Amino acid sequence: MVLKSRHRIRTSDLTPSPREIQARCFAGMLEYFSLFCAAFVAATGVDCLAVAIGTAHGLYKFTPKLNIERLKEINAAVDVPLVLHGGSGTPDDMVREAVRNGIRKVNICTEFVKAFGEEYIKTQNLPGFKYSIPGLFAPSKQAGYALARAKMELFALNNNLSPL
């Protein structure tokens, strides 16, 4: 049986509109975002917290813009190290600013794999190259190490670097 009512509520009849409700909820969520982060850390006991402040995984097709103000609020609200996913391709000055404001782990997997992969291809195209496991992979590993070292120095995290 289908009930038909003359008083059926349509979303277009709602005041405020669903779109406006959504906007208000989102604004409220942002207002209390750092409190939410603190509650999340306390409730879960996580060791670190990955924050969404404008980065994305993979290689960028545009320059990301980090929300440093939000990062500052989260950093002030929680006492665990903060993580930046999507660090690959994020401009150096932005990452340094993020590190200055609580980021303690920067994920750069795509850049690392790219450095490794480019060296892997380059190595095979060198004159006189002969296939061997160390001959093929050692230069690629060194390219990965070099990238990791450069990033650590760049982010001022090189205080206790030991030779690789």
Is residue 114 at the binding interface for Zn ion, with CB under 5 A as the rule? no
* Contact status, residue 148 vs residue 111, Cβ threshold 8 Å: no
* Pick 34 or 107: Cβ nearer Zn ion: 107
Interface segment toward Zn ion; rule CB under 5 A; list 36-44, 87-95, 100-108, 116-124: 100-108
> 153 is written with which tokens?
């120095």
Number of residues that bind Zn ion (CB under 5 A): 2
Residue 85 CB, shortest distance to Zn ion, in Å, is: 3
Within 48-77, the residues that bind Zn ion by CB under 5 A are none
* Pick 23 or 109: Cβ nearer Zn ion: 109
Is residue 85 at the binding interface for Zn ion, with CB under 5 A as the rule? yes
Interface segment toward Zn ion; rule CB under 5 A; list 80-88, 94-102, 123-131, 150-158: 80-88
Structural element, H or E, at residue 50 = strand 49-50
Residue 21 CB, shortest distance to Zn ion, in Å, is: 32
Is residue 105 at the binding interface for Zn ion, with CB under 5 A as the rule? no
Instruction: Give residues with Cβ within 8 angstroms of 127, minimum separation 6.
Output: none
Strand order in the sheet with 103-106: 49-50, 82-84, 103-106
Report CA 146 to chain centroid distance, whole Å.
21
Q: Phi then psi for 148, rounded to 5 degrees?
A: -60, -45
Within 136-155, the residues that bind Zn ion by CB under 5 A are none
Is residue 107 at the binding interface for Zn ion, with CB under 5 A as the rule? yes
Residue 107 CB, shortest distance to Zn ion, in Å, is: 4
* Pick 24 or 57: Cβ nearer Zn ion: 57
Instruction: Give residues with Cβ within 8 angstroms of 21, minimum separation 6.
Output: 14
d(CA 114, CA 143): 10
- Residues of the shown chain interacting with Zn ion in the complex, contacts defined by CB under 5 A: 85, 107
